[in-house]
Structure 1
Amino acid sequence: MHFSRQHILIGLALFALYFIWGSTYLAMRIAIESLPPFMMAAIRFIVAGGVLYLWLRWRGKPAPTLRQWGGASLVGLFLLVIGNGGVAYAEQTVSSGVAALAVATMPLWAAVFSRIWGYAPSSREWLGILLGTVGVVVLNLGAEMRASPLGAMVLLLASASWAFGSLLGKHLPMPQGVMASAAQMLCGGVMLLGASWMHHEAIPQTIEPAAIYAVLYLIVFGSLIAYSAYLFLYNAVRPALATSYAFVNPLVAMILGAWLAGEALGHAEFYALVLIMLAVVLVLPLGRRR
């Protein structure tokens, strides 16, 4: 069987989303043990976006127009500030595995928000949304979510914001190719810096080496590689395939959290995992045509 360059790139991008993104939940948890959440996220995206932007400009890529910067700012707000920043904030009180499970509801939100752009979910998708809602209720009955109602609320808001921003980005003026990643990360990073200032976050006196390594991992693998891979996939394949990482990320995050951080799942979290995964199977029609 002959594989084109496009097929190879899609395969590598899916690997990045499935496994690298699944590991970033634990990396964020380690990073915020020394760094405040919004400050950590701001550093991550400003450095990653700045490096990528300068590299692209050095290679002769055109700078984004004013309208494209505006589109990148809006997407950066929903995906990186509310979405990713919200997850980092919630992980102060919620384990990385449970955070990944809550974020796995993103395709359910995407199915709901798609009505804004004229797509009505099918009966199968509505069944998935209903099942996913039950899964979220069960998840919130678990010990971790009950112990942190604010964390639970922020995680669901983050997931909904990521879904809305992903759909919105397809209808906004955006730089071409990888420049879109650079612009969104730069804009999102600057806004996260503002959120850090508004929350009176202070630079810690001491930063553990593990936190530094975690931030470096998030910059290189979570942002430069995996975030760019997500934007590439969202424009190269059908949305169902681009968001299929929702199947795998919670499993990767939970395995790594249990193995490396001693995190444990209760019965409620396990049942929620089954319900949400079944719901995502219904909402992501992987076997259908575009």
Structure 2
Amino acid sequence: MPLSSKKSAPPLLVIIAFATVYIVWGSTYFFIRLAEQGGMPPFFLGAFRFTIAGLLMMGWCLIKGEKIFVKRDIMNAAVTGILLLFVANGIVIWAEQTLPSAMVAILVSSAPIWFVLLDQPNWGVNFKNKATIVGLVIGFAGVIILFSEQIEKIFAGGGASKLPWMLLLLLGTISWAGGSLFSKHRPTSGSSTVSTAWQMLSAGLVYIPVSFIHNEYAGFNFHSIQTSGWLSVLYLIIFGSIAAYSAYVWLLQVRPATQVSTYAYVNPVIAVILGVVFAMEHISFTQLAGLFIILGSVLLINLAKYRKEKLQLRAAE
């Protein structure tokens, strides 16, 4: 990730790109839930969404005449795509059969914490900063608060617990951070668009056998999928998998990374609003408290990075 803006960009385009990342990525949790309620089996949804999005992006790369068959780039993109789009996103899709989309988004909001913990090459810098350490401690306190209700429910014998799904989502956030760092430390020799296309295609292909293993195709009929399901999938392909990610990559080229990373504050809030208002999901005070504590910890961590970037920029002047 660049430390600073590499090139200028029209302010209006920057605003539109930020709005796309903020709103679209925050809304994908709601539309995943809507697609599943419309009759889309979870792993079939992942296979269909990412395969179609990957093919569309690869077609665009071919039209532009980009070099797409570089073995090393394909292998790195495949690892990244499987960790991010299959493991992390697949867990989100699977969990939303049981958990409210708003709760899923709240749990995923802890991802920036794992970025710091898994970024081993930068441990020497990150763990020398008091703000980063305090942010991590506060962040884990927020995660514990999120899990507290379900832990209490287990000890009280109050019926089925959502704890296994919550733990699975925690694993998904770790996979997202790990895949992102893997991609960061193994830059592609081609364009980011080609890499993204291979990531989506790799993930989409892995979803297919998993969907068969879960017997999702038994008795499956395309005609049984409701219009709301198809429209949600179309939204996820065009806006979630292509537009928002492209806007994110472009913003990293024209704006400081700390500014771009502010999506981590906004996405879960958008998801909670959509889930509560349109899906009538219930979010407890404890869950909201955990969300705001985690977001506060991310703010502390990013403040430390922002100060470091300013010092580096001054030193370079």
State the Cα distance separating 1:134 from its structure 2 match: 1.0
Task: In structure 1, give the amino acid aligned to 2:52.
Answer: V
Is 1:14 matched up with 2:18?
yes
> Within 5 A, what are the aligned runs for 1:215-234?
215-234=233-252
Tell me if the contact between 2:83 and 2:175 (Cα under 8 Å) persists in the aligned partners.
Answer: yes
State the Cα distance separating 1:137 from its structure 2 match: 1.0
Unpaired segments ≥5 residues, structure 2: 1-6, 154-160, 310-317
Q: Match of 1:157?
A: 171
How far apart, CA to CA, are the structure 2 residues paired with 1:195 and 1:101?
26
Q: Match of 1:138?
A: 145
Q: Match of 2:280?
A: 262
Over aligned residues, Cα RMSD in angstroms? 2.2
How far apart, CA to CA, are the structure 1 residues paired with 2:16 and 2:179?
24
Greater displacement, 175-184 / 27-36: 175-184
SS at match of 2:40: coil
SS at match of 2:191: coil
SS at match of 1:170: helix
Tell me if the contact between 1:79 and 1:165 (Cα under 8 Å) persists in the aligned partners.
Answer: yes
Q: Match of 1:207?
A: 225
State the Cα distance separating 1:151 from its structure 2 match: 1.2
Task: In structure 2, give the amino acid aligned to 1:154.
Answer: L
How far apart, CA to CA, are the structure 2 residues paired with 1:145 and 1:159?
23
Among 124, 134, 140, the alignment partner of 1:127 is 134
Q: Match of 2:35?
A: 31
Pick closer, same or farther for the CA change 1:266–1:125 going to 2, 3 Å.
Answer: same
State the Cα distance separating 1:230 from its structure 2 match: 2.8
State the Cα distance separating 1:9 from its structure 2 match: 4.7
Among 196, 210, 215, the alignment partner of 2:211 is 196
Task: In structure 2, give the amino acid aligned to 1:93.
Answer: T
Task: In structure 2, give the amino acid aligned to 1:283.
Answer: I
Task: In structure 2, give the amino acid aligned to 1:246.
Answer: A
Matched residue pairs, number?
288
Q: Match of 2:80?
A: 75
SS at match of 2:66: coil
State the Cα distance separating 1:14 from its structure 2 match: 2.1
State the Cα distance separating 1:49 from its structure 2 match: 0.8
Pick closer, same or farther for the CA change 1:177–1:6 going to 2, 3 Å.
Answer: farther
How far apart, CA to CA, are the structure 1 residues paired with 2:262 and 2:41?
30
Task: In structure 2, give the amino acid aligned to 1:132.
Answer: G
> Within 5 A, what are the aligned runs for 1:163-202?
163-174=177-188, 175-202=190-217
Greater displacement, 201-210 / 160-169: 201-210
Task: In structure 2, give the amino acid aligned to 1:129.
Answer: L
State the Cα distance separating 1:116 from its structure 2 match: 4.1
Pick closer, same or farther for the CA change 1:119–1:199 going to 2, 3 Å.
Answer: farther
Instruction: Give aligned-pair identity as a percent.
Output: 33
Tell me if the contact between 2:109 and 2:291 (Cα under 8 Å) persists in the aligned partners.
Answer: no
How far apart, CA to CA, are the structure 2 residues paired with 1:238 and 1:200?
45
Pick closer, same or farther for the CA change 1:187–1:181 going to 2, 3 Å.
Answer: same
How far apart, CA to CA, are the structure 2 residues paired with 1:288 and 1:274?
22
Q: Match of 1:112?
A: 117
State the Cα distance separating 1:223 from its structure 2 match: 0.4
> Within 5 A, what are the aligned runs for 1:50-65?
50-65=55-70
SS at match of 2:225: coil
